[in-house]
Amino acid sequence: MSDSAMTAGSMHGAAMEPSPFLITSRKLTMWLFIVADAATFGAILFGYGYLRFGSPNWTKPFTFSPNIINGLVMTVVLLTSSLTMLCGVAAAREGRSGATMKWLGATILLGVTFAVLHLREWTGMFHEGWSLSKNPMGGSVQVGALFFSITGLHLLHVISGVIAITVIAIGFRARKFTAGHVETTGLYWHFVDLVWMFVFPLLYLLNVR
């Protein structure tokens, strides 16, 4: 008897504890997905560090102009898109459908701009002879392999995000989706932005000649 009184559940009839998780399953799951995705990026960035420090012939492919200037523009574009997303979420919460569409539209536009700038840069590098397995500067082939696979993974996230925001925006306009959906998508978008804040210094700034 006294044994059982010591157990965790012996406070009979106690109400449900005040939940620290006052969020929907959908939002909770997005946070969990972000944790998992952070582990994915963490693993691949660990691989970058591991192979870079193990390469005696690492070459730095970038110069301040045009590469870093381009990268800075991309960074500003992506950071701005987080701001417009934030405004979109706020407008959706207040039920201002028109404003929501405008802000989400701006976010999509900025996301597409980022992707276009990125792909333009990639194409330029392909022309110089860079690829997953080739280094035109004669150094480690890991430079191209790691650059394209890591930025490629990030770009995949950006493109998925643009598609997701488009679907959510259309659904929100049709009153199929709520402000909660917009906010959850926003969480993802901010995470993609945050990842870039690791990718940009590690893959661009550390690789300037």
Partner 1 sequence: MTMDSVSASITELPPATPHDHAPPESFLRKYVFSLDHKVIGKQYLGLGLIAVCTGMFLSWVMRYHLAFPDKAVPLIGWIAPTFAAGGVITPEFYLQLMTMHGTIMVFFVLTTAPFAGFGNFVLPIQVGAEDMAFPRFNMMSFWVTFVAFAVLVAAFFVPDGPPLSGWTAYAPLSAVGKSSGPGEGLGQTLWVIAIGIFCIGQLLGSLNFIATTLDLRAKGMTLARLPYSTWAWFITSMIGLIAFSVLLPACVLLLLDRVAGTSFFIPAGLVVSDAIQPHSGGSPLLWQHLFWFFGHPEVYIAIVPGFGIISTILPAVCRKPHLGPKVLIASQLAIAGLSYMVWGHHMFLSGMSPSSATLFSVPTLIITIPSAIITLLWLGTIYGSKLRLNTAALFCLGFVSVFVTGGLSGFFLSQPSIDTYLHGTYFVVGHFHFVMGVAAMFGIFAGTYFWFPKMFGRMMNETLGKWHFALTFIGVYATFMPMHWLGLEGNVRRYSSFPSDYMHGSLPLHRFITYSALFLGASQLIFLVNLIWSRFRGPVAPDNPWEATSLEWSTTSPPPFDNFGGVHPVVYHGPNEYGVSGPRGDYIMQTDPPVAAAPAATA
Applying CB under 8 A, the residues found at the interface with partner 1 are 1-5, 7-10, 12-17, 21-25, 28-29, 32-33, 35-37, 39-40, 42-44, 46-47, 50-51, 54-55, 57, 93, 132-133, 140-142, 145, 149, 153, 178-180
Work out the number of other CB atoms within 10 angstroms of the CB of residue 208.
13
Cα(103)–Cα(86) distance, integer angstroms: 8
Decide whether 8 or 65 has the Cβ nearer to partner 1.
Answer: 8
Least distance to partner 1, CB of residue 102, Å:
21
Nearest approach, Cβ of 28 to partner 1 (angstroms)? 5
Q: Which two tokens stand for residue 86?
A: 């934030």
Q: Which is nearer to partner 1, 15 or 174 (CB)?
A: 15
Q: Residue 190: enclosing H or E segment and its boundaries?
A: helix 179-199
Specify the residue, 108 or 192, whose C-beta has the smaller distance to partner 1.
192
Shortest CB 11 distance to partner 1, Å: 8
194-23-94 Cα angle (round to 5): 80
Q: Which phi and psi (to 5°) does residue 91 adopt?
A: -65, -40
> Which CB, 93 or 173, lies closer to partner 1?
93
By the 8 A CB rule, do 74 and 128 touch?
Answer: no
Q: What is the nearest approach in angstroms of partner 1 to the Cβ of residue 73?
A: 28
* Other Cβ atoms closer than 10 A to 79: 13
The smaller minimum CB distance to partner 1, of residues 108 and 189, is found at: 189
Distance of CA 163 to the CA centre of its chain: 13
